[in-house]
Amino acid sequence: MAEHDADTGAGAGADPEVTARAERGYLLDNRQSEAGTRFEALGELFDPVTFRHIDQFGLRAGMRCWEVGAGGPSVPLGLAERVGPTGAVLATDIDTSWLADLTDLGGGVIGTRRHDVAADPPPAGGFDLVHARLVLVHVTDRAEALRRMIQALRPGGVLFLEDADPALQPLLCPDESGPEQRLANRLRSGFRALMAERGADLAYGRTLPRLLREAGLTDVRADACFPITSPACAVLEAATVRQIRGRLVAKGLATDEEIERHLANVATGRLDLATAPMVSAWGRRP
Ligand SMILES: C[S@@+](CC[C@H](N)C(=O)[O-])C[C@H]1O[C@@H](n2cnc3c(N)ncnc32)[C@H](O)[C@@H]1O
């Protein structure tokens, strides 16, 4: 887990151990202030997709869900609404900073726990639904994480994984019509380089249906989507770039002047920004 640091984590006087961990860990550290903005934008962009699928799985009152790498509150709250006071939602993350109020907000249905999906024992209890969105792409030991999520399902329970596939559609501006769009796409390519350096698999999304089948799940299905032009794409992009700008500059992937120019271009709302495609895949434990 990356320690909190506003810039590159490599400033004068930094503890070398903390710096070394920051260089290895999750790039978009939840303890940075932009993380809350990013979670809200992700919710706006992807919650409708996530719940369109979940509402087809037959989730109902009294059921138990595990939301893995929950990040912010929106998905746990949506699950709590569906399972009601007789159900239960466990929201876990390696960093629960943005889940603090959930126990009260969820009317006692939601529990939160700091938990590393690839390293900690899966919670007991036989879940009806285990869901992880945009999490596994960042986890180095993805195969172990997948095994642990499947172990946590009751027979007949659904594993629902949603993950990005930036290599499938790598552009921030698919319509590269001018210098603003070209700069945007170059900075996006720098962001991908930083993610890859930390062990992210940038072509992971497309593998999900096969991985679920190979893990023995049945009724495996998948689809994919990516928004273009949503105002939330601009909010997400500005917050992400602010969060990683120190690292982009330190690695020579962008200058401060280019980053300022890009942020001003994004703020005009005229770039037709896209996200990476998100693959949604699901299957049942026999
Ligand atoms: C891109 S955010 C997605 C958050 C949320 N699932 C969503 O879709 O809005 C990735 C989240 O995964 C969490 N994460 C990263 N590695 C993890 C791990 N090994 N175990 C559990 N959570 C992890 C991060 O802390 C972060 O909250």
Give 178 Cα–ligand 1 centroid separation in angstroms: 34
What single letter denotes the amino acid at residue 254?
A: A
153 close to 52: Cβ distance less than 8 angstroms? no
pLDDT above 90 (res 189): yes
| Surface-to-core class of residue 105, CB atoms within 10 Å of its CB (0-12 exposed, 13-18 middle, 19+ buried) | middle
Over range 166-187, report the average pLDDT: 97
Q: Is the CB of 116 under 6 A from ligand 1?
A: yes
Ligand 1, pocket-test mutation among 115, 135, 165, 202, most atoms within 8 A of CB: 135
221 close to 227: Cβ distance less than 8 angstroms? no
Percent of the chain with pLDDT over 90: 79
pTM (two decimals): 0.89
Domain boundaries, the chain: 16-284
Residue 274 makes CB contacts below 8 A (sequence gap 6+) with 169, 171, 172, 173, 174, 226, 227, 228, 233
Q: Is the CB of 63 under 6 A from ligand 1?
A: no
Q: If you take atom 16 of ligand 1, which residue's CA is the nearest one?
A: 139
pLDDT above 50 (res 260): yes
Res 191: pLDDT: 94
- pLDDT 10s digits, 99-117: 988 877 777 899 999 999 9
Q: What is 16-284's CATH superfamily? A: Vaccinia Virus protein VP39 (3.40.50.150)
Ligand 1, pocket-test mutation among 138, 141, 236, most atoms within 8 A of CB: 138
